[in-house]
Amino acid sequence: MTADEDLAVDSIGKLDELLFEIPPFRPDPLPVDWRDILSTWLKGQPIADHANDDPEVLRFIEDALIYRLPWGMEAIRVRAEANDDKVTDGINFWDFTDYETGLAAPAVETGTLNRSAALLMQAGFSSRTGAVKAVADTQATFDSSKGLRIWLASDAVRELSENEDWPTHGSHRLWREFMEGHDTPEDEVWSIQDGMLPVAWDDDASITAGDTVQLHFEMPYEPPIALSPGFEPLGRGKMFLENKPKGIFRAVVAPNKAGVTFEYLGPNDLDWLF
């Protein structure tokens, strides 16, 4: 761990103390040694050695670290940006948006401060220790979906993937399945596509034109769920896709609030059906 990483673990721990005082983010149970668990989790170390199969520790990780804390941290970030909050040392003031604030929540959710390993897990590789080792072995530094795709297609990763013990013996099968799902035909070109998705908003949904919305695709033939940045359901789309899209959506509430306008970075796989 570097000094910066130690500082990050300490800072996240202090923020979590505050979030734990707010009912929606208060975990149950809250282990006495939760700070040690958080530190082990963020350092990317095997949590089994710390948990000793304690069900309370495992529930804390699943409930607090993977769900509640990222939710709370993202809610703070979105609110601060919306209200143009300032950061101050008591003398000087800086805009909140001057800082990179979008990395803490993924770090807590995935269990690593390494941005590349976190992106790898968010892309669908479900082994935490495997992701950390894969990134470390290749000295990967990608910080975007495009960088991830380039890394996955690299000769180094392709060669290592043939090793049945890579990234780890226990995660190799998961890695092979992950790679098979990300094998893209050479003629499948990714591009940015614009579109509009009509949405049936929930009666109690609080929306404003321009609000950021996340589109969650549960399964084929199911309309996507529109979620707030805090992961609260806002409504459902009025169209669906035959297959789960491979790309990435960026969506906002449309000016007339009849749905969301979106930019989609991905292959030509948006075959919307009513």
If DSSP codes are grouped into helix, strand and coil, which group holds residue 54?
A: coil
With 80 as the cut, is the pLDDT of residue 260 above it?
Answer: yes
Distance CA 264, CA 193 (A): 5
Angle at 118 between CA 6 and CA 78, to 5 degrees: 85
Tell me the pLDDT band of 3, cut-offs 50, 70 and 90: low
Per-residue exposure over 222-254, b if at least 16 CB sit within 10 Å of its own CB, e if not: ebbbbbbbbeeebbbbebbbeeebebbbebebb
Which helix or strand (DSSP H or E) is residue 119 part of? Answer: helix 115-122
Q: Please provide the average confidence, as pLDDT, over all residues in the chain.
A: 87
CB 265 within 8 A of CB 218: no
pLDDT tens for 150-168 read: 899 898 999 999 999 999 9
More confident residue, 174 or 153: 174
Strand partners, 236: 200, 225
Fill in the DSSP letter of residue 257.
S
What is the average pLDDT across 206-219?
Answer: 89
Total-model pTM? 0.60
- Alpha-carbon distance 266 to 118, whole Å? 20
d(CA 272, CA 46): 42
Q: By C-alpha distance, which of 242, 238, 250, 251 is closest to 269?
A: 242
Alpha helices in 142-199 (DSSP H): 145-152, 155-160, 172-181
Angle (CA) 119 242 220, round 5°: 60
DSSP state of 94: E
pLDDT at 52: 67
Is the pLDDT confidence value at 186 over 60? no
Q: What is the pLDDT of residue 45?
A: 84
Q: Amino acid identity, residue 184?
A: T
Is the separation of the CB atoms in 186 and 193 below 8 Å?
Answer: no
Mapped onto helix, strand or coil, the DSSP state of residue 110 is helix
pLDDT given at position 251? 93
pLDDT in the model for residue 255: 92
Does the structure show a pLDDT above 90 at 238? yes
Q: Can you give the pLDDT at residue 184?
A: 57
Mean pLDDT along residues 98-106: 76
pLDDT at 4: 78
What is the share, in percent, of the chain residues with pLDDT greater than 90?
46
